[in-house]
Structure 1
Amino acid sequence: MVSIENFRKTALSFPNATEEPHFEKTSFRVNKKIFATFDEKNNHAVLKLNEIDQSVFCASSEMIFYSIPNKWGKQGWTIVELSRVRPEMFEDALKLSYENVAPKKK
């Protein structure tokens, strides 16, 4: 299980990450681009994964990770059930999400 406090601490530990409101959710961004959101009402996160990472996480843990069932899911946006995910697995997925959105190092 991952608490919002641990989610927030990990997300904000990445370089240039910020926390901002996003409609009724909390978003975590780098250079104004969202890499994760937190939905308090449903206690889940949404992460921006690439197609390969999304398929690996969803296939290995389909009750924990699953694609958003619309065009956003086809772009890599993936729901994570925070009450079911192991902290280490969540941190790995969150890092990949951040890296997908963060500016590429030269």
Structure 2
Amino acid sequence: MSLPDRRQVEVVDVTFIARRPMTADVAISVRLLDAQGQWLAVHDYQPALGAIPTLKWIRGSRVVDRHLLPLPADFTTGEVCATLIAYERFRLPPLPVMDTRFGDVPLGAWTVP
């Protein structure tokens, strides 16, 4: 198995700050989409690449959650956007978002050169 070269991987870092201790085991899904809304890559995992599960979070915990999103081999250049969904790991229901206009939390858009 060979890993994609650096140019083919988009890195998305999300920072979480716990307002209170967490009582659910939550996973984070970051999705990378092209300009037409088609999925290019998805990364689902416990926060901080599994190192800091939400059940260990206490009030004030600051967790940087890195997601490595390899681009498909046939993607050359163009605009992409990232979205986030948090969900309960065992039953899989997504957690509700604070702004009901969105199903996913928008993380931003950028152009891959």
Q: TM-score range by the shorter chain?
A: under 0.3
Give the structure with the larger strand fraction.
Answer: 2
Give the structure with the larger helix fraction.
Answer: 1
Under a length normalisation based on structure 2, what TM-score does the superposition of the two structures give? 0.26
Q: Which has the larger radius of gyration?
A: 2
